[in-house]
Amino acid sequence: MEILRIDKISLNLEGRQILKDLSLSVKEGTIHSILGSNAAGKSSLAYVIMGCCGYLAQEGRIYFRGEDITSLSLSKRAKMGLTLAWQEPARFEGLTVRDYIAVGMKEKDDALIKQALQKVLLEPGDYLDREVDKSLSGGERKRIELAAVFAMKPKLAILDEPDSGIDILALDNIVKMIKELKRQGTTVLLITHRQEVSEIADQTSLMCSGFIVKEGKPKEMGEYFKERCIPCPTKIFPAQENGQAKGGKN
Amino acid sequence: MQDYELMIEAYTKAGGLASVFKDSNIAHLVVHKNKVIGKNLVKGLILEPEETASGVDIKLKVEKGIKIQNPVHLCFGVLPKEGIQEINIKAKIEDGAGIKLLAHCVFPNALKVVHKMQAEIEVGDNAYYEYNEVHFHGEDGGIEVIPKARIKLGKNSHLVTNFFLLKGRVGIFDLDYETEVLDNSSLDMTAKIYGYADDKIKIREAGKLIGRASRGLIKSRIAVKDNAISQIINELIANAPEARGHVDCVEIIQGNAQAKAIPIVNVTNEFAKVTHEAAIGRVDKKQVETLMSRGLEEEKAIDIVVGGMLK
C-alpha cells in the first residue's frame, strides 16, 4: 500500500526551478531512498513534503495515506504522522535534550527517551539534562535529532542526510536505527548522497537537477550513481537535455 | 491577612520557597515598603536594616574568611496599588568570604509603584559574591523599577549577578550595574526579561576589566512583544594584559515591539581581548519549524523557543 504519493510537483524559488514535474511513490513499511549529488534538490523535496514555509509546491499534489495534504500546514502534516529529521538540526537554548525529544511524543515517556538516546550511542545520563545548544557538537545534535524522530514513532519519517556529520563508528548504529524505525512500523524516506547508505533501502529513486530520473533496486541504482552520476561534470541527467526526463523512469 | 503572610504568598508566587523563612539555618530579610517585617541571621553574617521615610537602608557584611553556607533570602515588595520603596544597600564581603543572595521583589498589585535600589558593593580578595534577583509583577504595568549597583571586585574573586523579570508586566525598567574587576577575578552578569504591552526596558551592564587576567561575561536575553521597547547596553572595557571578556545579547521581537542592542567593547591593552555577539530578530524560523515538524502549533512552538531562551 502506498503511504506517500507525489504527483508532478514543481517548485520555484527566487526565479529558479528547484523541482520539476517530480513524481514519487513510497510504499508503506519500506525504506525508500532518494539518492543524488549535492544540489540535486533532495532537501527541497523534503521541505515540500513536510510543508515548510516558502516550500509550497506551485504545481502538483502530495498525498499522504490517500489524503491530499498539499495545502496543509506543517503542524497538521506532523500531527498526521509525518516528520522530518533535519540535515542541520536547530539549536535550542534552554531546552534540554529530554524535553526536546519529548516534544513529538504523545505522552512523555522517560524510558523511551532513554532508549532512543541509547539507539544513537548517546549515554542518557550524560545527555538528558544538557541543553540542545551550541555546547553540543554537530554530530551530537544530529544523533539527538534521530533519537527524537525514533521516540515520536511517526508513520513516515523523512531523514535528510542522516549520515552526514556522523563518525564512522556511529554510522553502523544509525543504519541499525533506521532499520529499527522500519521494524517499529515507520516508513522511512531516506535522503542521502552516499551510495552505501542508500543501499539499506528497499527501493531507490535517483535524483538529479530537480527530477527523479531513475528508480529501481538500491544496488542497481547505487552502481548507476557511482558510474554515471558521480563523474558527471554537469550534474544534469543526460536525458533532461533533450527534454525526455519528466519525472518518470528512464 | 497580615502584611507578612501576604508578602510570603507573593514571594511564593514569584517562585520562592516559603519554608526558607522558617528555617533557622537560613538567613532572611523581609521588607514591605519601608518596614522590616521579618529577619533571621546566621553566624558570620551582619545584616543591619534601618527603616527610612521611603524604604530601608541595609548594611550587609560578611567577615573575613566566612563562607555563608546557605543562600540568604531577601524579599522586598509593595503590596498596595500605590507606593514607593527605596532600598539602599552597602555590602562588604571581606577577604576570603563568600555569600549567595537570592532576592525576590514582589509588586503584585502595582498601579503606581516605584521600586528603587541603590547598591554599593565591595568584594575583597579571594572572595565570592552572588546576587540573584527575581521579580514578580502584577498584570497592570503600573510599576517602575530602577536598580543601580556599583561593584568593586578584589583580586582572585568571583562575582555573579542574575536578574530575572519573567512574571507579570515589566512596566518601566531601568537597570544600571557597573563592576570593576581586579587581577585574576571574574564577573558574570546575566539579565533575562520578558516585556509585553507597552513595557519599557532599559539595561546597562558594564564591566571594567582593569586587573591582569581578569574575566568578564555579560549576557542578556530579552523577549519583547506587542508594543514593548527594549534597549540593552552591554559594555566591557579591558585595559589590562590577559584580560578577556565576552558580551552576548539576544533579543527576540514579536508584533510591534522594538529592540535595540548597543554592545560597547573598548580594549586599550594589546594583550587583552573582548568579543561580542548580538542578535535581534523574530523567533528563528528553523527552530519553530523543527518543533512544528513534531506536531506543535506555531504559537506553542514560539512559546517553547522564547521560554527556553529566558529559562
Q: What is the predicted pLDDT for the residue at A235?
A: 63
What would you report as the CA-atom Rg of chain A, rounded to the nearest whole angstrom? 18
| CA–CA dist B28, B303 (Å, integer) | 34
Architecture in CATH of A2-241: 3-Layer(aba) Sandwich (3.40)
Domain extent listing, chain A: 2-241
Residue A201 to residues A37, A81, A187, A204, A227, Cα–Cα distance (Å): 17, 20, 11, 7, 19
DSSP classification of residue B21: G
Check if B309 contacts A (Cβ < 8 Å).
yes
The pLDDT tens digits of the residues spanning B143-190 come to: 999 999 999 999 999 999 999 999 899 999 999 999 999 999 999 999
Q: Tell me the residues of chain B between 160 and 179 that have a Cβ less than 8 Å away from chain A.
A: none
Cell digits for B176? 544600571
| HSE-up of residue B173 (Cα within 13 Å, Cβ side) | 32
The answer to whether the CB of A84 falls within 8 A of the CB of A50 is: yes
| Confidence check: pLDDT of B295 > 70 | yes
A96: closest CA of chain B, how far (Å): 9
Q: What is the predicted pLDDT for the residue at B132?
A: 96
Check if B286 contacts A (Cβ < 8 Å).
yes
Closest CA to B124 of B158, B149, B100, B147: B158
Mean predicted confidence (pLDDT) in B55-76? 96
pLDDT-flagged residues of chain A (< 70)? 233-250
Check if A144 contacts B (Cβ < 8 Å).
no
CB within 8 Å: A94 and B296: no
A101: closest CA of chain B, how far (Å): 9
H and E: helices and strands count for chain A: 10, 12
Task: Using DSSP bridges, classify how beta strands A67-68 and A59-64 pair: parallel, antiparallel or unpaired.
Answer: antiparallel
Q: Which residues contact B172 (CB under 8 A, 6 or more apart)?
A: B143, B144, B145, B199, B200
Q: What is the predicted pLDDT for the residue at A166?
A: 82
Query: Which residue of B lies nearest to A89 if distances are taken between CA atoms?
Result: B290
A231: closest CA of chain B, how far (Å): 34
Q: What is the predicted pLDDT for the residue at A247?
A: 39
The closest CB to that of A75, out of B285, B297, B307, belongs to: B297
| CA–CA dist A116, A98 (Å, integer) | 10
Cell digits for A78? 506532523
Q: What is the predicted pLDDT for the residue at A238?
A: 56
Check if A33 contacts B (Cβ < 8 Å).
no
Least confident of A225-239, B107-121, B271-285: A225-239
Determine which of A76, A80, A84, A103 to mutate to test the interface with B (most B C-beta atoms within 10 Å): A103
B233: closest CA of chain A, how far (Å): 22
Q: Which residues contact A124 (CB under 8 A, 6 or more apart)?
A: A113, A114, A117, A118
How many CB atoms within 10 Å of residue B178? Answer: 16
Residues of A within 8 A of B292 (CB-CB) are 73-75, 78
Identify the sign of the CA torsion B21, B24, B29, B31: positive
The closest CB to that of A78, out of B285, B295, B310, belongs to: B295
pTM over 0.95: no
Q: What is the predicted pLDDT for the residue at A237?
A: 59
Check if B303 contacts A (Cβ < 8 Å).
no
The answer to whether the CB of B131 falls within 8 A of the CB of B151 is: no
Rounded to the nearest 5 degrees, what angle is found at the Cα of A85, between the Cα atoms of A79 and A91?
Answer: 105
Residues of A within 8 A of B304 (CB-CB) are 92, 95, 103
Confidence class of residue B209 from pLDDT cuts 50, 70 and 90?
very high
CB within 8 Å: A50 and B293: yes
Query: Which residue of B lies nearest to A102 if distances are taken between CA atoms?
Result: B294
Q: What is the predicted pLDDT for the residue at B189?
A: 97
Check if A53 contacts B (Cβ < 8 Å).
yes
